[in-house]
Structure 1
Amino acid sequence: MAQRQGLYFNAYNRGKTLVFSKVPLPDYRADLDDRHGSTQKEIKMSNQTEVRVEDLLSRSKWNTNNSASTSTVSMRQFLPSASSSVVEPAAPIDKEKLSSQLRDLQNSRKTTASARSMQSFREKLPAFSMREEFLKAVAANQVLVISGETGCGKTTQLPQFILEEEINNLRGSDCSIICTQPRRISAVSVAARVAAERGDELGEAVGYQIRLESKRSAQTRLLFCTTGVLLRRLFQEPDLIGVSHLLVDEIHERGMNEDFLIIILRDLLPRRPDLRLVLMSATINAELFSKYFPGFTFPVAELFLEDVLEKTRYRINSERDNFAGSSRRKRFSSVKSDPLSDVFENIDINKEYGNYNITTRQSLEAWSAAELDLSLVESTIEYICRYEAEGAILVFLTGWDEISKLLDKIKGNNFLGSPNRFLVLPLHGSMPTVNQREIFDRPPASMRKIVLATNIAESSITIDDVVYVIDCGKAKETSYDALNKLACLLPSWISKASAHQRRGRAGRVQPGFCYRLYPKIIHDAMPQFQLPEILRTPLQELCLTIKSLQLGAVSSFLAKSLQPPDPLSVKNAIELLKAIGALDDTEELTSLGRHLCTLPLDPNIGKMLLMGSVFQCLDPVLTIAAALAYRNPFVLPIDRKEEADAVKRSFAGDSCSDHIALLKAFVAWKEAKRSGRERTFCWENFLSSMTLKMMDDMRNQFFDLLSDIGFVSKTTGVKVMCPLSFQTCH
């Protein structure tokens, strides 16, 4: 009835409360959930309103019984007119007519010049030649596992094949395809590419949805989203009713969300025999389809550290007076080692690298795996720019610190620092999606593009003009010590699968080159695949999600995963959730726990925000929570550490609190920004401007999340309810 009257509709409190509205409704309303003990008010309708509602119900029932139509076309016909207070019923259009319209639109857009040009490119991809075989396999199997080399067209073409086939066969009205991506930038960039190939506007037939940002409509038939977004939808719709096809990309990464999703989908498929599931990756161990997708890249030559040193003549300064060429273990005895680094430290340089010149061997003797030599990276970039052919350069680094330092080095380089000759772009997961999109644009012919990225550029996204890849061999990875209950984010060696992916980023437009800034002996000793995230990270958020989806005992559910986590890690997560009041003694969700389930945040941060709302101190809590959830905005340069510490202490004052220092620094930065002194202020106070801007954005995101669940009002900015009992507010 709501749809026919042009209203928004949602059911809350397990269907006990139905809400109709002229404005969009949130997915969840804590004030309408009786499990939370919140107060609900019943408002009596006026006689006039009651008569009108009864009339609408009668008309809706009559339409349902007498109309041959069973569906509608576009949500635009459901939206109430802003210029009229009276809602007129929208004329329903049946599925057959909608499917016909979708086919006609698709066919008409194929005839445009841009679409023909895109089609020519698509037909060159290896995936395109296997279109019919793929579609037959989708029709005949509920689950497919697709393995194909980087660049073969898995991510952009396979979802399109399904969409085109469904629309061509007049099944467009029932077609709803979801394709998950592990990262936000992947979902946005792939959606934009697919929409362009179809000749569509982004947000029409093809759209995307990431956390707190989306471009989609009721017309959308192919939605690219992050894995987290799909998990949130499963929370609302456990059976994914209406979804016809689900594609999960980059499953080789084995992130916690991906592993969790696979467990849920395994249990879901028997309930949804009509749902088609396609698992995709470039490096997964799968036989099905792998032989069909050889990849669409030119040859890529690999150079390892020893080759790079030999070619560039870069000299790594040795801390030793004499060059011996024997084991260097004694020199690094004070540095915590790792098995891969040990492989190199234990070899005899003279024996292993006898074919290389003495300068290269001396540099190898001096090289340390403990820390990346950014001067070596700078030298390698400069060598490529001076002596190699044209083409963009993609540099893989471990995090923002290295990206920022290398940016400064490049800006200070007499040759590379020329803004007219070199376009240097950072790429980091915390950057706004608008900024991230700049990396896909080709610079003028007179400029060379240099992208400094983390492993976000390793999979899913493709920067077409990259010819040179510089690989540091490491990525930041969360590791969890279950015995000491400590989690840390540290650079770790990547796997062979990741190294293969990085190499695959080059050679898209011509023969490419991959400069590995680590020895070949380390590459050969790398594990084939990375350790799954579920085995190396804290499990609190995952445990809450399991309880919120009513999937049974946490330990029993996780035991069904592909590689079950350590029981001690599960126990630690449950104990922490009990300690903060999210679970009771029987491991059931408390009132606080149910609210935390609605916040896609670490439970500690989530509780902090909820308590800040309840106790009327939300503004400072938003700032502190943003810093804790993202990163500390204070930077500590090694050569000015004492000055930086003094500045931080001055912000803390008598409180001696890191949190108060964060808060006061943020407030002072906002004031400096308003007066146009932002850059000077950050420089004088050892603060990262980018981190502070990200914190500011996260504050708004956190506030929106609290507003969506009814804890604060967007109009007044104050607490509108306190559904937590005193017992859970400790």
Structure 2
Amino acid sequence: QRAELLSKLNEVQASEAEMKLLYTTSKLGVGERMYQTKRVLPEPETTVPEKIRSISGANKRRHSSDSELEPQEEASSSEEEEKQEIEKSSASDFTSAEKPQEGVEKAVAHQQPAGRSVPVCQAASSKPPCKPAVFVPVDRSPEIQEARLKLPILAEEQVIMEAINENAIVIICGETGSGKTTQVPQFLYEAGYASSSGAIGITEPRRVAAVSMSQRVAKEMNLSHRVVSYQIRYEGNVSDETQIKFMTDGVLLKEIQKDFLLSKYKVIIIDEAHERSMYTDILIGLLSRIVPLRAKKGLPLKLIIMSATLRVEDFTSNNRLFSVTPPVIQVDARQFPVTVHFNKKTPLDDYSGECFRKVCKIHRMLPSGGILVFLTGQAEVHSLCRRLRKAFPFQKNNSTAGADGDKEESVEEIRKFKKSRKQKKRMALPKIDLDNYSVVPVDEGDEDRDADTDDDIAGSDIDLDLGDGDSEEDEKSDSSLPLYVLPLYSLLAPEKQAKVFRAPPAGTRLCVVATNVAETSLTIPGIKYVVDCGKVKKRFYDRLTGVSSFRVTWISQASANQRAGRAGRTEPGHCYRLYSSAVFMDFEKFSAPEITNRPVEDLILQMKALNIEKVINFPFPTPPPAEALAAAEELLIALGALKEPPMTGRLKQQLAAKLSCPISPLGRVMATFPVAPRYAKMLALSRQQDCLPYTITIVSAMTVREVFEEFDRPAVSEEEMAKLKGKKGRLLQMQKIWAGQGPMQKLGDLMVMLGAVGACEYAGCSRQFCEENGLRYKAMLEIRRLRGQLTTAVNSVCTDAGLYVDPKMKPPTEAQATYLRQIVLAGLGDHVARRVQAEELLDEKWKNAYKTALLDDPVFIHPSSVLFKQLPEFVVYQEIVETTKLYMKGVSAVEPEWIPVLLPPYCHFGKPLENPPPSYCHETGRVRCHRPSVFYRVSWELPAVEVDYPEGIDRYKYFARFLLEGKVIKKLSSYSRCLLSSPLIMLKTWSKLQPRTESLLQALVAENCDNRDALLAAWRKNPKYLLTAYRQWIPEAMHDDLAKNWPPVAL
């Protein structure tokens, strides 16, 4: 019987050639087919035409004949191989095939063994037309393949690619760590979306992510950086061979300005859409219109929106954005479960102290694993780091021998420790706080209780609910449990940020104290415990006044889940939330998009440059408030970037016209500079007196912010306090030197920035120079890059400028410093402040205060300003920040007589003065007069200055007078002695009684000739213009001579 059984098994056993066609299921979706194609396959007995076809959905179900004829192992073969078999069997149903794309390799369909048959799939008429199956092989290393298999998104490759193939727009939601950023571009590359006719573009909100992701993907795909490239604001390695391009969202927006249809791309991926940055929202709105336009032209563009925690309703329920709701694919990300523990009580003030106590408990009581603490700001991060280092000192020269034995406590020891702690609590008299008694039912409040029980805990991470109580042991120093504490925040030097990614020293536990930069931007390895204070520091802008203030607020539920997701990346994790579950339920589900709480004038200018005049009708995923749009357009009109709306028609029409003003020529120039519109206006006015290099440097420093180090943080020891005091004194000394003397000193804080950048560049922008003089090295490098970018942008606009970044730039002269102050005033016209006069002091709080046009409260010059003690009468500021008071930063002194000349939109002018009388300006060809004025809204009286005569009939009368006197056209001065009437009668009230005055005046008004340029233009149009009217002013005997010499200019 055994022999008979073996013979029967041999009859049904698969042949060796058949087994070579199969491969293990562990290689599903990782491109293992490439290795199969490299093998030498046996020649099949029958040949099949090499026509490759696929029918959408054909491989979604198996046919009965498959299960009957194929061996059992075939049921677990890869989706790719099954798809190829169906393609081969269905190829005979089609008589023509599309020509494959050039440069794209296609997988060769494996041949069927003899005796096997696959049923033919009948293509229904309703199904989309078939396309050739495309596969681009990628030569990955076995280590990379093994790492990719651990990513959750690999299991969803078929679902994702089917959705992308069948839909123009797809939304992919996957939490941080799912692998969507690195793997989706690879899916598309293997499917042939990156070819000679187009590339795959991926946008990232941060420059660091764009660079690091391009390097990671290039490494995984074993491709050069010429194929997988990046492009950020200051640098890039994009080449003609680039097929996968990572970039910041601002870079893609600039490309849309040059090529609206993005003809170089076949796929655009918007990554990290949950951050809802302003540029990301604009890109999604623009792409929602570009995608259908490309489809109409027969050049389809795929749009993929990827996010960690996305408020999908903003996209799926927004009919203005997407007329057809895009499919949403959810990818599970977290590899290990994360247990969330809530506090019973929510600390309102001392959340930093609560973080300290929680970390101490984790470190003393729980097994090994990194700790990540979320706080709100740089000062809190350093404060907590100092407390933890003091409580658990770590010395580098300590021997680590036996550290693991001392650190790893047994389960029984921890249980005894917790029992003794509980007994100590019971010995003390109870403190009854009725607020501790929750109204949550018993079954729902389990996560808030201490779990100090004697349950069996051998199979878990012991008892990880640490409770809310204080412990006397927290503040005691314990050198036997060293803790490796590291800070992490955005302004930290890059080399110090990189420390969190390295393994901690042997015998220590890693503890990272971070701001929200560790929430989504960075993934720290080895983190098992997360301590979440539930707070975040945000910059809030007042849309009407422009005042910015940093406030500590509660995070959103989505942010809380993001923070919890930082744990459990390598093993089961725990998140300790320092607030109750009831408080968590009161959080907003998602953070407000950036576009709703910041100024949008730069956004509107860029959209106007794209000829989108009615911005209010733009399909924003979340539209900004209407008042923010109105304030932005009002500012751009005042800057001259937009044309003024016509003040005709009904009130409703006038209001609509204010929100749809077209861009001006100056605005188009300003839109080419990658800075805020106020700073772009400063650049546009800097051609005179060779001030462009200085303005570029000042604008770069104002854009980067935080140029100087902060030395006001508390010190751990007296030694550190003395060190900080010495550095602060050195910085103050250098600021006085950089501020200069005389007119240069009036440039104020901007002169300090200019001097600091110049000195740093002169010293080679070295790290040592920055540390010695209190400059932030990271900021100085960014200023250097932005200077280079702005220099290139200015040279492209002004081809004859010939600018270059001069590392040995000389300080400005006194005349240049004065002109720079005027340039700053022209760009920051709505940021003018006036010192409160002694007679206006109504309260003590107004002493040394300033009044602004937009605020009722007093504002003060920041103590760090070099103008803090000088208190000029009029100043212009970069921004107002709110701390204990309202402080102005980036302050420069200005002269009051400059305001009406440089800022006429912000001034209300009175009637022209009779003394001095109006005059004619030979340089401009216009009528000039002196007018008093007041600054808008606050009615500050300003000195009378010479300006253009206001529009009206009187300007035509004065121009006619100067024309008759020969001041406008020199050739007419020979006739001025022979005039039949004095030109002064043009200004008399009874001038209408003279026919010649009315004739000349009507002729000028008819052609709008109230200046020399308009008069010359009228003569080019009609050489006989004004001849008849002027004849009436001279004797008849001179008419023929006048006619021969008319017009009296050479055209």
Shift in Å at residue 407 of structure 1? 5.2
Distance 1:108 1:281, change over 3 A: closer
Per-residue deviation, 1:221? 1.7
Matched, 1:212 2:297: no
Post-superposition shift, 1:232?
1.2
2:555 aligned residue: 494
**Pair 439,593 (structure 1): closer, same or farther in 2 beyond 3 Å:** farther
* Alpha-carbon distance change, 300 to 628 in structure 1, aligned in 2, over 3 angstroms: same
The equivalent position to 1:299 in structure 2, one of 318, 337, 340, is 337
Matches within 5 A, 1:78-93: none
What SS does the aligned partner of 1:491 have?
Answer: strand
Alignment partners' CA distance in 2, 1:548 and 1:414: 58
Contact conserved, 1:582 with 1:593, CA < 8 A, in 2?
Answer: yes
Q: Which amino acid aligns with 1:521?
A: A
Give the equivalent residue in structure 2 for 1:267: 289
Q: In structure 2, what is the equivalent of residue 193 of structure 1?
A: 216
**Aligned match of 1:282:** 308
CA distance in 1, matches of 2:518, 2:605: 30
Q: TM-score, normalised by structure 2?
A: 0.47
Partner amino acid, structure 2, of 1:150: T
Q: Write the distance in 2 (CA, Å) between the matches of 1:290 and 1:96.
A: 29
Deviation, 1:561, is 1.8
CA contact (8 A) 1:231 1:261 kept: yes
CA distance in 2, matches of 1:603, 1:208: 27
SS of equivalent residue, structure 2 residue 690: coil
Shift of 1:238: 0.5
Q: Secondary structure at the match of 1:588?
A: coil
Aligned equivalent of 1:637: 712
SS of 1:98's equivalent in the other structure is coil
Equivalent residue number for residue 133 of structure 1: 159
- CA separation in 1, counterparts of 2:764 and 2:593? 42
Give the alignment of 1:286-365 within 5 angstroms.
286=312, 293-306=331-344
> Which of 573, 578, 587 in structure 1 is aligned with 2:632?
573
1:697 aligns with 2:723: no
Equivalent residue pairs, number: 555
What CA deviation, in whole Å up to 9, does each residue of 1:682-716 have, x standing for no partner? 4xxxx4x43x5413431432233222341564657
Counterparts of residues 393-404 of structure 1 (less than 5 Å): 393-404=371-382
Mark the CA change 1:205 to 1:262 in structure 2 (over 3 Å): closer, same or farther.
same
Paired letter, 2:139: R
Alignment of 1:383-422 (within 5 A): 383-406=361-384, 415-416=393-394, 418=396
The answer to whether the aligner puts 1:99 opposite 2:129 as a matched pair is no
Residue of 750, 775, 785 corresponding to 1:659: 750
Q: CA shift at 1:536, angstroms?
A: 0.8
The percentage of aligned residue pairs carrying the same residue is: 33
- AA in 2 matched with 1:491: V
Give the secondary-structure state (helix, strand or coil) at the position aligned to 1:394. strand
Which shows bigger deviation, 507-516 or 394-403? 394-403
Following superposition, the deviation at residue 117 of structure 1 comes to 1.9
What is the SS of the residue equivalent to 2:783?
Answer: helix
Q: Is the 8 A contact 1:208 1:215 kept in 2?
A: yes
CA–CA separation in structure 1 for the residues paired with 2:199 and 2:175: 27
Instruction: State the AA in 1 paired with 2:289.
Output: D
2:705 is paired with a residue of what secondary structure? coil
Question: Is the partner of 2:613 in helix, strand or coil?
Answer: coil
Find 2:606's aligned residue among 545, 555, 558.
545
Q: Indicate the residue corresponding to 1:246 in structure 2.
A: 268
- TM-score of the two chains, using structure 1 as the length reference: 0.66
Q: Is the 8 A contact 1:189 1:437 kept in 2?
A: no
Q: What are the Cα deviations for residues 348-385 of structure 1, in whole angstroms up to 9, with x where unaligned?
A: xxxxx5xxxxxxxxxx6xx434x752x54455445444
* 2:196 aligned to which of 173, 193, 199: 173
Measured in 1, the distance between the counterparts of 2:303 and 2:197 equals 16
TM-aligned CA deviation for residue 573 of structure 1: 0.9
| 2:563 aligned counterpart, secondary structure | helix
1:659 Cα shift? 2.9
1:227 pairs, out of 249, 257, 263, with: 249
1:707 is matched with 792
Q: CA deviation at 1:540?
A: 0.8
AA partner of residue 530 (structure 1): S
Q: In the alignment, what sits opposite 1:61?
A: none
Identify the residue that residue 505 of structure 1 maps to in structure 2: 566
Following the alignment from structure 1 to structure 2, what is the Cα–Cα distance between the partners of residues 622 and 584? 26
Give the secondary structure class of the aligned counterpart of 1:562: coil
For residues 285-312 of structure 1, give each alpha carbon's deviation from its aligned partner in whole angstroms, at most 9, with x where no partner exists. 4498767522232111223455xxxxxx
Report the Cα distance in structure 1 between the residues aligned to 2:736 and 2:805, rounded to whole angstroms.
33
Q: Secondary structure at the match of 2:303?
A: strand
Q: Is the 8 A contact 1:148 1:289 kept in 2?
A: no
Instruction: List aligned pairs for 1:552-563, cutoff 5 A.
Output: 552-557=613-618, 560-563=619-622
Q: Report the CA distance between 1:611 and its aligned residue.
A: 4.2
Question: 1:271 Cα deviation (Å)?
Answer: 0.6
Match of 2:139 among 85, 90, 109: 109
- Secondary structure of residue in 2 paired with 1:213: coil
SS at match of 2:103: helix
Distance in 2 separating the partners of 1:390 and 1:517: 21
Of structures 1 and 2, the larger Rg is shown by 2
Q: Which amino acid aligns with 1:98?
A: G
C-alpha distance in structure 1 between counterparts of 2:687 and 2:573, whole Å:
54
Contact 2:686 2:695 in 1 (8 A): yes
Provide the aligned C-alpha RMSD in A.
Answer: 4.0
Deviations 1:336-357 (A, max 9, x none): xxxxxxxxxxxxxxxxx5xxxx
> In the superposition, relative to structure 1, how do residues 612 and 368 fare at CA in structure 2: closer, same or farther (>3 Å)?
farther
Unaligned 5+ residue runs, structure 2? 1-98, 109-133, 317-325, 399-481, 646-660, 715-720, 811-822, 828-901, 903-1051
Q: After TM superposition, give the deviation of residue 241 of structure 1 in Å.
A: 0.3
- Structure 1 436/505 Cα, relative in aligned 2: closer, same or farther at 3 Å? same
Q: Indicate if the aligned counterparts of 2:392 and 2:483 stay in contact, CA closer than 8 A.
A: no
- The residue type equivalent to 1:393 in the other structure is I
> Which residue matches 2:702?
628
Deviates more, 1:565-574 or 1:217-226: 217-226
* Deviation of 1:437 (Å): 5.6
